[in-house]
Structure 1
Amino acid sequence: MRRAVCPGSYDPATNGHLDIIHRASKLFDEVVVAVGINKSKKGLFTVEERLDMLRETTADLPNVRVDSWHGLLVDYCRENDIAAVTKGLRSVSDFDYELQMAQMNRELSGVETLLMANNPAYGFVSSSLVKEVAAFGGDIEHLVPPVVFTRLKARLAERG
């Protein structure tokens, strides 16, 4: 079975993330969408909330499962018999960073990385930018899945 992981913080997931997940699901027998746990970072959403939103937004993809991990991604891959990492590229700066990560991951464990060019419609979309624009009342509904939009609006309203 060919398995790949789509790792990220997904705080929150965007339509750009989902585009990569959907495309990866056509290339691999199983795709694991893995939320990284970084206790030193304070996210807008808890890891459990992110996992729930991702499960809802990928429910139509039978070969996709959602999980979380902490520590080195290559250790998670080894423990789960995952041979490849899939990542989306929006820009040259993404490429520079992801290439270094891909080379390090391959050196550490032999895990390969598939760097996928993003859909140009989402080339400017990032979780950070979505949160910032939403916090100032900007329209981000077309940039995130419906469940994320609803929960993001509610979370920002809670915080005033």
Structure 2
Amino acid sequence: MKRAIFPGTFDPFTIGHYSVVERALTFMDEIIIGIGVNEKKHTWFPTEKRVRMIEKLYAGNPRIRVEAYNGLTVDFACMRDARFIIRGIRTVHDFEYEETIADINRKLAGIETILLFTEPELTAISSTIVRELLSYGKDVSSFLPADLDINI
């Protein structure tokens, strides 16, 4: 079974994240969306709410699991018997950062990282921008998956 971790803060889970998961499902048997808990980050949505939002989005899809985790992503992947980490990249800067982390994860645990380039029309969308728009009371629905309920 080809199992992958798709790690992130997902605060919130955007249409860019959704696109990466949908595309990864074409070559993975199972994807665990891993919500990394980082106490240093100030998030808009509490961890439990992010888990519930994404679980509801993928309800009925047995190939998707959603879990929060602490610590290193590579350790979480090993605990879940995942041999792959999926990452979406939008920019050259993202690529350079992800390449370094991928090299370390491969050396630490033999886990391969698969990088999926963001679709061009989604490149400008980030959770950071969505959070800023939310802070100003803007409608962010066009940046989120249609079925993502941020009000649960």
Q: TM-score, normalised by structure 2?
A: 0.92
Aligned residues of 2:56 and 2:148 also touching (Cα < 8 A)? no
Instruction: Assess, with a 3 A threshold, how the Cα gap between structure 1 residues 60 and 125 changes in structure 2: closer, same or farther.
Output: farther
Equivalence for 1:81: 81
Q: Which has the higher helix share?
A: 1
- The one-letter code matched in structure 2 to 1:141 is S
Equivalence for 1:30: 30
- The one-letter code matched in structure 2 to 1:85 is I
Superposition map of 1:80-159 within 5 A? 80-146=80-146, 148=148, 150-151=150-151
TM superposition shift of 1:73: 1.1
Equivalence for 1:158: none
TM superposition shift of 1:69: 1.1
Flag the structure with more relative contact order, 1 or 2, with Cα contacts below 8 A and sequence separation at least 6: 2
Unaligned runs of 5+ in 1: 155-160
Count the aligned residue pairs.
152
> Aligned residues: percent identity?
35
Unaligned runs of 5+ in 2: none
TM superposition shift of 1:132: 0.8
Aligned residues of 1:90 and 1:118 also touching (Cα < 8 A)? yes
SS at match of 2:78: helix
Q: TM-score, normalised by structure 1?
A: 0.88
TM superposition shift of 1:94: 0.8
